[in-house]
Each structure stands twice: as C-alpha cells, then as structure tokens.
Amino acid sequence: MYDRGHHIGQKFKERFGVQPLLVRAPGRINLIGEHTDYNDGFVMPAAIDREIVFAFGPSTDGRTIIYADDVGEAVEIDLHSIRPDKRGGWINYLLGVIDRFQDRNIDVAPFWCLFGGNIPVGSGLSSSAALECGFAYGLRALSYAELSDEELIRMAQWSEHNYAGVKCGIMDQFASVMGRKDQVLMLDCRDLSYRHLPFAPRDFKVVLFDSNVKHALATSGYNTRRSECEEGLSILQRDNPAIRSLRDVSQEEVEVRKNFFPDNVFKRLRYVTGEIARVQAAARDLERNDLIAFGAKMTETHRGLSELYEVSCAELDFLVERLTTSPHVAGARMMGGGFGGCAIALVRPDAVSAIAESLGDAYRSTFGLELTVHQVNLVDGTGLVPAPNPRQHNTN
C-alpha cells in the first residue's frame, strides 16, 4: 500500500540530507451546517482520508526553505520580515502561521519543510485548512511552543483571514485538527464546545461528486455573504441589542420582519436561521441512526443554499437534482463555501459505481465536464505520522 508519510520523508531526506519530523493533516467534509459557522451556529464536519504530509527539520545553514512537492516549487523565507507575499499562492497560508507564532513571541528558528498530499485544490475539501493546520502543528513541535490545539486552530484561521483574504469561519480548521476516525463532530461555533458522534453506517457510503468547477473563495461571493449576514444582524440589533449573532434569532422571527430587510439580506437570514435549527434536528436523527431523515435534511440544505443563500451553481444543482431522484441516495447537497466544488451524498454501497457511471455520462453530455467521484472514510485529525514499521515499507 502507498505510504505517503514514508514517501514525503524520503523526499525530504534526499533534498536536505537529514531525517525529518513528519506530520499529517487531513481535508474535511461537512455533512450538514453550511455557512453557519461564522454566524455562531452548528456544523457537522469530519476529517477525511485525503491529506497533506509535512516533513520538517531544523535548518543547518541558517536558511529557511519550504518545498511544495506537488508543484515542484521551493520558497526561501526571511524569518525577520514575515508579511503576505503579493504574488499569492500556497506560501501565504504558511507565512500567516509564522506571523502568529512570532506575534506570540515564539522563537521560530530557521527550518526546512517539504510537503505534499492528495487533497484536491478548489474542490471544497479544505486543502487550505490542512495546509495551515499541519504546518502550525509541525512548527509547534519544532519550536517547543506551548500552544493548545485550540490556539493552533485559531492561528490557522487568522492566517486564512489575513494572509489569504478569506473571512472564513472556524469549521475547516477545527475539523482538520479535531476529527476522529469514524466520527463526525457536532461543533457549536459560538463557544467551540463539541461532541463526537459515531458515523460508520453500513447501509450508506459518503460519496463526493466533484463538479470540477473550481471555486476560489477569495474572489467569489463568500466574503459578500458574510457581510450580508452582518448587515442583517445589525438591522435586528436596532430593535434588540441583546442579539449577538444570527444564532440568537429564529427563522420565524426573521420572517415576521421581512420588510425590515433588503431582499437579498432577508433571503440570507432565512437560510441561516433555518440551517442552524436543521443541524440540531439532524444531530437527533443521527443519534437515532435514522439516515433517511438525516439525508432528507441534507437535501433541504441544498435547496436553501441554492435558492436563498445563492451559493450553488448550475453544475451542482444538476448533480444534486439527479442524485436525489435516485432511490439509492438518502440525501445530497453542495458542500463547503460553494460556487463550485463537490456535492456530498449518502449512497447505498452497492449502487455507488452505477450512479457514478450514469451521472458521469449525463454530466459530461450536459456541461462538457468530467465528474470525479471520491468515496471517503473518516479519519483522525492532524497529528504526527506514526513511526514506520520497517517491515511494511513500500514506496509504490
């Protein structure tokens, strides 16, 4: 079996001549609870078996070099002047993390780092959170910093806000660090309290249908949606200053005030308040092991994201429409920030390949695009790569 930890470790040794410390950081899915995190709501994400592995070592020549193996690009960093790189790209996610370490007066000594992985970029699986979190985790180990996991998560989010320009919520970074094998997180984004709920159903598989429409959150409407929510909140606060976030308002309370809001803001608020309630009901479905009821809620979420929050696209609507008319699918919806990326569905295991094939054909003939289908398993969050068992080594 392919062993990414071993592979990345080897590459590091070839390049830098010493043994590295190895860290892996996973991407994430989100079963339900979309665009609720930055409104103090609930989300239900999980870490998945698509990951980035980092190899780290102290530099012996005073230079700090980071090498992105998948794109064959090395960047040398001046630790005395950390600021966003105007050219953009992957390095900014990491520079933002170094910025936070230095801001905490943690002495980051020159180091080498090499990383690579298999999280598709721009598909809504949070490759950027994995990049930030895995890097922060490694840097903590390398610099003997006393930082809690929660602090790492917040530093990673800060980096995304200030170095990548996306005003994201906390969900992606939280899931990448706190995920657990065969479990989903029920996370309350107001105070970051959470529970792990078992999720290893035998009768359904989690399947991702990647539209291959690439989203770019910084340039898309993500930040606009966030400010529309803030606009709605400030209108509500005029009557009732005790309202701290959309979490404090029910869908009915929004509906009776329809005339107070511009149309677009009203739609965003209806969706968010409905979704926050829906995630809590979905958690109860999961506790009862009722995946049919759970799946129906996923499909309702899609409708809201498409018609009220308006972050879907024709390709994702098409995929969800086709998926949800199949008797072998409990529910489906677009996942993540939107404007492209993946649809997530709960599919009967023996129907996965037939659905993938027929949907792939229909998708190609309608949009001229390929559909990529990923079956994913839920795994533990960011951590050290376990020491290799020498007898199992294989570099295929």
- Interface residues for ligand GLA in 337-366 (CB under 6 A)? 337
Nearest to 65 by CA among 73, 254, 25: 73
Pick the binder of ligand GLA from 35, 100, 140, 154 (CB under 6 A).
35
Cβ distance to ligand GLA smaller for residue 20 or 337: 337
Asked whether position 208 contacts ligand GLA by CB under 6 A, the answer is no
Amino acid at 234: S
Round to whole Å and give the CA distance between 387 and 296: 43
Q: With binding defined as CB under 6 A, does residue 40 bind ligand GLA?
A: no
Q: How far is the CB of 371 from ligand GLA (least distance, A)?
A: 21
Site for ligand GLA in 169-198 (CB under 6 A): 169, 171-172
Nearer to ligand GLA, 131 or 168 (CB): 168
Question: For ligand GLA, which is the closer residue by CB, 172 or 248?
Answer: 172
Q: How many residues line the site for ligand GLA (CB under 6 A)?
A: 10
d(CA 191, CA 199): 23
Site for ligand GLA in 323-342 (CB under 6 A): 336-337
Q: Extract the tokens encoding 384.
A: 């050290």
Distance of alpha carbon 250 from alpha carbon 235, whole angstroms: 15
Q: Is 376 in the site for ligand GLA (CB under 6 A)?
A: no
The answer to the question of residue 27 lying near ligand GLA (CB under 6 A) is: no
**Residue of 172, 210, 248, 317 with catalytic role:** 172
DSSP bridge partners of 229: none
Taking contact as CB under 6 A, which single stretch among the options 131-139, 166-174, 196-204, 296-304 is the one that binds ligand GLA? Answer: 166-174
Segments of the chain assigned E as strands: 21-30, 42-43, 45-58, 64-68, 73-77, 111-117, 183-188, 193-198, 205-210, 329-334, 342-347, 372-375, 383-384
Candidate list 34, 40, 248, 310; residue touching ligand GLA; CB under 6 A: 34
Other beta carbons within 10 angstroms of residue 271's beta carbon come to 29
Q: Which is nearer to ligand GLA, 8 or 272 (CB)?
A: 272
Least distance CB 386 / ligand GLA (angstroms): 29
| Token pair for 231 | 């606009």
Among 151, 193, 138, residue whose Cα is nearest residue 384: 138
Distance CA 228, CA 270 (A): 12
Q: Check if 172 is active-site.
A: yes
Count of C-beta atoms within a 10 Å radius of residue 23: 29
**Segment 236-295, which members bind ligand GLA (CB under 6 A)?**
none
Six-digit token string for 220: 């898309």
Nearer to ligand GLA, 168 or 329 (CB): 168
Q: Note whether 164 binds ligand GLA by CB under 6 A.
A: no
Residues contributing to the site for ligand GLA (CB under 6 A): 34-35, 37-38, 168-169, 171-172, 336-337
